[in-house]
Amino acid sequence: MKDRRDADRKLVEEVAQFPLLEALFGRRARRFGMGMTIPDGPLAYESKLAPVPLNDLERALLVLCGAGINGWNTGMEHTAAGLPDTGCNYPVRLLGRTYPSGAGIYATELIFTDDSGTFLTRLRNLDPAEFDRLGDGEPAQLIDFVRRNCVKLADGRTEVPVRIPHISAHNLWNANKPGTTVFAPVIDLSEQMFDLLAVYMGMGFTPYDPKFDRICGDLRPWIERGLIDPAKRFSMVDFDQYCLATGAMELSLICHNMTLMLQAMGLGGWLFTGINPPSLMGAFASDGVKGLGFRFARGGSLPAPNPIGIDGQFEGLCPPYCADMREAAVKFSERKFGPGGAFDPARPGPFRENAAVKARIERYTPDFVAMLGETAQYLYDTYGRFPATVPTFYMRVYTQAHHLDPGFYDQHFGPNFYLDTHRNHMQKWHAGER
């Protein structure tokens, strides 16, 4: 047992010293894993090796490098908008992560599924001190940290039918197969949208609905008080795309982090989009494709069912998780400024004078929150969802990790198409396993 602990400690040290440039320039989509088969064509090949699942350490390292905690972020140091001599109130979380997030919102969690189960991380509301207690990064502690901060959504792998349209034609042979682990980040765009609305309306801009040629809601009281300017309009259709783009970039960066880590660890895998997100999330549950268990809202102005959350685990700022969008606006504000919120002076933070700095961050007034709620309610009433024209929860890009079958590459490409880490992986990481 001690020998295994020492070996794991050495593996973590080796991964930590792997050169960034080698990961960048050695990165390839290495799709062929143990146990896979390409049935025909010029690259036909049947693996002679049984699939080997990722072990707990491999899985934990990918989670921590993809979406882990790396300290505090500095927030947004200054903005010219708002009250003078107050701090910028844009971030929702001051937690630093291994990937960036627009305005410090960090509305993302990571789902991963393999033969051991399907799990959702619960990392976005932690403080870095939760991770600092791991000390020198003992492998057993890393595994335990991930285990304690994940919730199990289901026993076993989340399956989707191996056919079009659930899986793209070019991924039918290799996606979500036995022995693989699929990592699927997902972002709550309802929280993303509330924060971006607050940023723009805090600068005096007025949300406008170009489809119906009108301002989004009865905002006359706030216009009359000079809080927003109707001459400074922004299209909510364009703004939805802005919200979606910021979220999509975040998900891609998480997956790219893990893809670079595959090179350091010597795992096969790649970043891809070839599993239909509604199928994986659970839009076809009534047809027996349970998926990840997201609740879907149907109806509204768009035909596609809209994922709004996982009950009790990852819930959107919208009905039925809130009575209405006005309550959702209050709930959003509390996440930032209420007890335990990012700017609660009693909560730890990045600043040397933590309580003093946080106390000077500009708070949303009840009037400002009511304005956000009026806008959000208009969008929800008009379009049947929030945001109006994009999903409430968004999933699109994945990283799959598996153990490489070198025989395929040796036969069709030559031994230089994978790294020494791949060549030595099974001996180092799975010595003594059957």
Instruction: Flag the least confident range among 36-45, 196-205, 225-234, 293-302.
Output: 293-302
Instruction: Report pLDDT for 270.
Output: 98
CA distance 380 to 316: 13
Contact (CB, 8 A) for 58 and 179 = no
Q: Which residues pair with 46 in a beta bridge?
A: 37
Instruction: Report pLDDT for 134.
Output: 44
Q: Kindly give, in sequence order, each residue whose CB lies less than 8 Å from that of residue 205, ignoring residues fewer than 6 positions away.
A: 228, 229, 232, 233, 234
Residue 3: which pLDDT band, with cuts at 50, 70 and 90?
Answer: confident
Instruction: Report pLDDT for 36.
Output: 98
Radius of gyration over every alpha carbon of the chain, rounded to an integer in angstroms: 23
Could you report the per-residue pLDDT of 227-244, keeping only the tens digit for each? 999 999 999 999 999 999
137: pLDDT strictly greater than 80: no
75: pLDDT strictly greater than 50: yes
CA distance 293 to 308: 11
Structural tokens at position 335: 């996440």
Three-class SS state of 404: strand
Tokens 């002679």 label which residue? 48
CA distance 231 to 238: 17
Task: Express the helix, strand and coil content of the chain in percent, nearest 5 each.
Answer: 40, 15, 45
Angle, helices 366-383 vs 325-337, to 10°: value is: 140
> Could you give the C-alpha distances from 169 to 182, 205, 219, 288, 416, in angstroms and in order?
18, 45, 49, 21, 28
Q: Kindly give, in sequence order, each residue whose CB lies less than 8 Å from that of residue 37, ignoring residues fewer than 6 positions away.
A: 45, 46, 47, 173
Percent of the chain with pLDDT strictly greater than 70: 97
CA distance 326 to 330: 7
Could you report the per-residue pLDDT of 305-339, keeping only the tens digit for each? 999 999 999 999 999 999 999 999 999 999 999 99
Burial class (CB in 10 A: 0-12, 13-18, 19+), 286: exposed
Q: Strand 206-209 relative to strand 214-215: parallel, antiparallel, unpaired?
A: antiparallel
410: pLDDT strictly greater than 90: yes
DSSP type of residue 227: S
Domains (range + CATH), the chain:
2-429 (3.40.109.10)
